[in-house]
Structure 1
């Protein structure tokens, strides 16, 4: 059963933070307490990021925060981004909230119970019989894994309409108390954002035909300490190991071959890999691992430059950018996340018939 993409959107929170502004604020916070900060601060300039967006203003980061106010900031910001992204995707698809049969919500940067799609139920105009599928903990792989989950649900319920919303507010997990290198690198890289997609087995009436195939994942044993969260009394603490670029160089090609084989494809069939840009070094490592021409992933670099690493939704920003360039052919979305996991989704773009 073919599943088609009917709408795709992105959304950003209101506070735009330039990389230089973040670097200056980080120097005020870390400079006198973290001996290695001067050395690590150079990564602000080499990270390939010009700006990112936050659900909270920059002064928020100079104050102490615990679970209660972090959760409040997450809930306020994530709800606003959910509504913004979802409404844009629905408009793109020509749907309304009442048309949606299933909503899949992906996040890893905050906890809400009832989950986010219930929190915005009235504003979105969802029906009272909507199926809710909240997914937590996929991290940077959440965009591709979320698309795969939504694709499987749509394929399993032919004719139904599935809305995927991926929301991350990485900023509210900022930590100045742990004084770990990972916290500095997180400050360099991460921002907030959301994306949404509308899927159905009913073909699109107009525009390019975007067909989503079955997703694929690979998980490596004994890699739990590469990426994720530590959880303590203050909140989430990022786990972000320096080995990620080298791990990509060593393991990603074989994982990609496995995903291609599962989809009855090979490397020569792929017109465009659409990748999560975890960082500038990770993008370089993916190009190298897949033997891509240098610069082949420039949409990934531009997304990183314009909005930072937003975790799960970032790959959907890249996907939107690639589709807006009118690229066609066989593509493969891919991302790496906690687990340690590689997530893949083949999709095909056919030009609108003349």
Structure 2
């Protein structure tokens, strides 16, 4: 088993209100897409009030090369990730040299050497720390990063592992792409980072502390067969072009419940026994599909809805923003939690947790 010791999030400087984003898209697309106004309801009905972006809105109204966008990605990702790491290490009161591995999760930019190499050179980590970059899992990446940290701790019970998810979704915006997928992405996506410290059961941090924290009991990944076109990115000369199937809420509604039921049954557990649902808020309709398919109580997704409202969809980092709020709560020992996230593949990531 492994324990989540601390979570720290970080946000870029520019905050945008949903009405401002809607107005920008109208001004940009209306001259060449006269019917754009009837599609702008996605900005009003998505359950989002504010988002945080790497650049001011004016920057997104001009065309930028893939090279320029990726250079900005590197700059912002290193800064945001470093801020999240520092906060997490401070919260946990752990030394940098006691970190054994760093798992980096990202899908919105390219970096070689990967981002954790840059953080290791900027912060006093051991130069022997294990580096595990994960790329391409999109919205499922935050949960997957925690699952891989859990696996690492099973193999190395004394280990302390940082999971760092950094996404600059806004930099993938295509100013000349009139597709509905680009419009929906623009109404949802935002930027942010999160860092989580996960420790093995023989780490000195595992039993320290005066309050209950989530212990990861079991994880599972499920890939939906022949579903590559449901969600993801096309990478072209000008950068990332978002892929969104209109069927995502219906797929969630029909496909997720059997996966969750089977996963929990393998641990002699039922969904009714889960007190805390740590769900990635991919969008308002996705949360509604979670709620209906899993027959959840009306308030069980309140934290996910709150995160979506305040920050939008930050891809892999978003579920860790939800996790941070749960970790800050005073949750009684033996309460069960289930982390859920869906991403390209089409795939699900599930983690069963118990507070100890």
TM range (shorter): over 0.9
Match of 1:268 in 2: 272
CA distance in structure 1 between the partners assigned to 2:331 and 2:62 by the alignment? 45
Superposed counterparts of 1:185-334, under 5 Å: 185-201=184-200, 202=203, 203-206=206-209, 207-328=211-332, 329-334=335-340
Superposed counterparts of 1:1-354, under 5 Å: 2-201=1-200, 202=203, 203-206=206-209, 207-328=211-332, 329-350=335-356
Equivalent residue of 1:120, what SS? helix
**Aligned residues of 1:143 and 1:314 also touching (Cα < 8 A):** yes
1:237-290 deviations in Å (ceiling 9; x for gaps):
000111111111111111111221333322232112210010011111100000
User: Normalization by structure 1: what TM-score?
Assistant: 0.96
Report the Cα offset of residue 292 of structure 1: 0.9
Report the Cα offset of residue 89 of structure 1: 1.1
CA distance in structure 1 between the partners assigned to 2:262 and 2:138 by the alignment? 22
CA distance in structure 1 between the partners assigned to 2:146 and 2:112 by the alignment? 23
**Aligned residues of 1:151 and 1:199 also touching (Cα < 8 A):** yes
Q: Which consecutive unaligned segments of at least 5 residues does structure 1 have?
A: none
CA distance in structure 1 between the partners assigned to 2:266 and 2:124 by the alignment? 38
Identify the range of structure 1 (218-227 vs 316-325) with the bigger mean alpha-carbon deviation. 316-325
- RMSD of aligned Cα (Å): 1.2
CA distance in structure 2 between the partners assigned to 1:273 and 1:144 by the alignment? 13
**Aligned residues of 1:217 and 1:259 also touching (Cα < 8 A):** no
**Aligned residues of 2:101 and 2:160 also touching (Cα < 8 A):** yes
Report the Cα offset of residue 42 of structure 1: 1.3
**Aligned residues of 1:274 and 1:318 also touching (Cα < 8 A):** yes
Equivalent residue of 1:103, what SS? strand
**Aligned residues of 2:212 and 2:331 also touching (Cα < 8 A):** no
CA distance in structure 2 between the partners assigned to 1:200 and 1:298 by the alignment? 28
CA distance in structure 1 between the partners assigned to 2:271 and 2:41 by the alignment? 37
CA distance in structure 2 between the partners assigned to 1:327 and 1:28 by the alignment? 47
**Aligned residues of 1:6 and 1:204 also touching (Cα < 8 A):** no
CA distance in structure 1 between the partners assigned to 2:298 and 2:112 by the alignment? 44
Equivalent residue of 1:217, what SS? strand
Alignment: residue pair count: 349
CA distance in structure 2 between the partners assigned to 1:174 and 1:327 by the alignment? 39
1:300-343 deviations in Å (ceiling 9; x for gaps):
11100000011111111111112323234100100110000011
Report the Cα offset of residue 34 of structure 1: 2.3
CA distance in structure 2 between the partners assigned to 1:184 and 1:42 by the alignment? 11
